[in-house]
Amino acid sequence: MSVYRLAAAAAAIAALLTLAVPAGAQTDLPGALLEWNFGEQYSPERITELMRPFFESYEIPRARYAVDTYVLRYRSTDFDGSAAEVRAQLFMPRYPQPAARPVLVFGSGTTGIADSCAPSRERSELRRWGHYRQNMLAYAAAGFITIFPDYIGFNDPDRPQRYFSKQAEGRALLDAARAVEAFYTTYPHAVHPSGAVFAAGYSQGGHAAFAAADLQPEYAPEVTLRGVIGFAATTDVAALLAEGPYYAPFILYSYSVMYGKEQIDPADYLLERWAATLEEDANRLCVDEFQKYYPFDGKRLYRPEFYEALHGERLELEYPALAAALAANQSGTSGNGLPALVVQGDADAIVTTATQARFVAELRRAGSDVRFLVLKAVPHRSTRPAGFLASVEWLEELAGR
């Protein structure tokens, strides 16, 4: 029996049960695989149909391969060094013969903080958060082993998502790459990791991908990152507070939980009407709801003194604890030197082209070879479909080096 048929038969069996890793396997290290189960098989024809709502008016790529999906659970490390568990979706292209392919770790854009808002829970036919399954299927159908993790704090009743935490996000993505290696060791397939790993993400996921690049040398030196992709990446959290205010309440809530309310109290920054119910709102509203609930005009969201300090570049002087947290969680600025693709729409109202251009200039000064793709008349949410083909070309180019 061919390797391909063996893999297909094993996948059919795995569909019937959830499997723990073998007894005796070490599961206390970051990236250790704790559990996996088979999801679905997708034909190229079905993938093409599913991709249509995601790509909208942009060119739909050809689905070259069928894709098998799995759900993994793996060990990771929270921002404070404590152990955490992460749930991820693995999208594996089905090759008819043995092949070594790159691993693409993709970070989600904002979906919310509550467990009910985890990216893996998206049902885009009912509520559109980003068409993430379709997006990942597109990469896998192009031949990339693609893993899409939920962030630390999701699927965990003891902690909310660590929203815009550089340490938590970066570690979750790096450990996803480790978990893929562990999965293939446990359950071999015709297609297997080539050793080349790429971190990518959209919006918040761009922040996570560049965080992974910053943390990789010390946290996961064996993970061979070849490059980073940011689609409308929100790497500068302070800039996001100024340019995309309706994300701010959940950032402030997350930081108050992480660092303590005595250090960062959302009531110091938000108008009383928003601060009064913030904990309740953060634990019930997903992105499609809170973008309608909170005003995009910062003057209607922030206390006047905070708004003035934020836009007057006086945060460090007037709000030193928050300024320190924002600086510590800025990503991509470590001088990691990795090649980067930055995809930006010039109609983006969440992260402006000017802010993105400053980030690109900083990357270049720090030694990264950056391809900066500014797409005409493309808004924030459309950077992924508009830049998809360019990203595949860039990935293949670097994977072949």
Q: What is the pLDDT of residue 188?
A: 85
Q: Smallest Cα–Cα separation from 146: which of 98, 182, 97, 107?
A: 107
pLDDT score of 12? 45
Select from 328, 357, 379 the last residue of a domain.
328
Tell me what the mean pLDDT of segment 270-290 comes to. 97
Give the relative orientation of helices 383-399 and 44-55 as an angle to the nearest 10 degrees. 130
pLDDT (average), residues 392-400: 95
Are residues 208 and 250 part of one domain? no
pLDDT at 135: 98
pLDDT of residue 19: 56
| Residue 25 confidence class, pLDDT cut points 50, 70, 90 | low
The sign of the torsion formed by the CA atoms of 220, 225, 231, 234 equals positive
Contact present, 354 and 325 (Cβ < 8 Å) = no
Contact in structure between 102 and 395 (CB atoms under 8 Å): yes
Q: Are residues 56 and 103 in the same domain?
A: yes
Does the pLDDT at position 17 exceed 60? Answer: no
| Domain CATH for 189 | 3.40.50.1820
- Taking the C-alpha atoms of residue 104 and residue 20, their distance in angstroms, rounded to an integer, is 24
The amino acid that residue 244 corresponds to is G
Same domain membership, residue 358 and residue 317: no
Last residue of a domain, one of 300, 328, 356: 328
pLDDT at 189: 86
- Residue-wise over 282-311: b if at least 16 C-beta within 10 A, else e? bebbbbeebeeebeeebeebbbeebbebbe
Average pLDDT over residues 67-71: 98
**pLDDT in the model for residue 22:** 55
Residues 48, 119 within the same domain: yes
pLDDT at 8: 45
The pLDDT of residue 401 is above 70 = no
Strand partners, 370: 340
Q: What predicted TM-score, i.e. pTM, was given to this entire model?
A: 0.93
Whether residues 315 and 370 share a domain: the answer is no
**Same domain as 15, residue 118:** yes
Residues 194 and 121 occupy one common structural domain: yes
Q: To which residue do tokens 């480790």 refer?
A: 178
pLDDT at 13 over 50: no
Residues 254 and 207 in one domain: no
Asked whether residue 49 falls in the same domain as residue 138, the answer is yes
Question: What total of structural domains would you count in the chain?
Answer: 2
In a shared domain, residues 206 and 249: no
Q: At which of 301, 328, 355 does a domain end?
A: 328
310-369 pLDDT tens trace: 999 999 999 999 999 999 999 999 999 999 999 999 999 999 999 999 999 999 999 999
pLDDT band at 15 (very low <50, low <70, confident <90, very high): very low
* 197 or 333, higher pLDDT: 197
Res 79: pLDDT: 97
Average pLDDT, integer, range 20-32: 73
The more confident residue out of 388 and 12 is 388
Same domain, 125 and 187: yes
Is 50 exceeded by the pLDDT of residue 9?
A: no
What is the CATH classification number for the domain harbouring 283? 1.10.260
Residue 277 CA to its chain's centroid (Å): 27
- pLDDT, tens digit (0-9, with 9 covering 90-100), for 90-136: 999 999 999 999 999 999 999 999 999 999 999 998 999 999 999 99
Same domain? For 281 and 387 the reply is no
Query: Does 14 score more than 60 pLDDT?
Result: no
Mean pLDDT of the chain, nearest integer: 93
Amino acid at 349: A
Using a pLDDT cut of 90, give the percent of the chain over it: 90
Q: Which domain holds residue 302?
A: 245-328
Could you give the percent of the chain with pLDDT greater than 70? 93
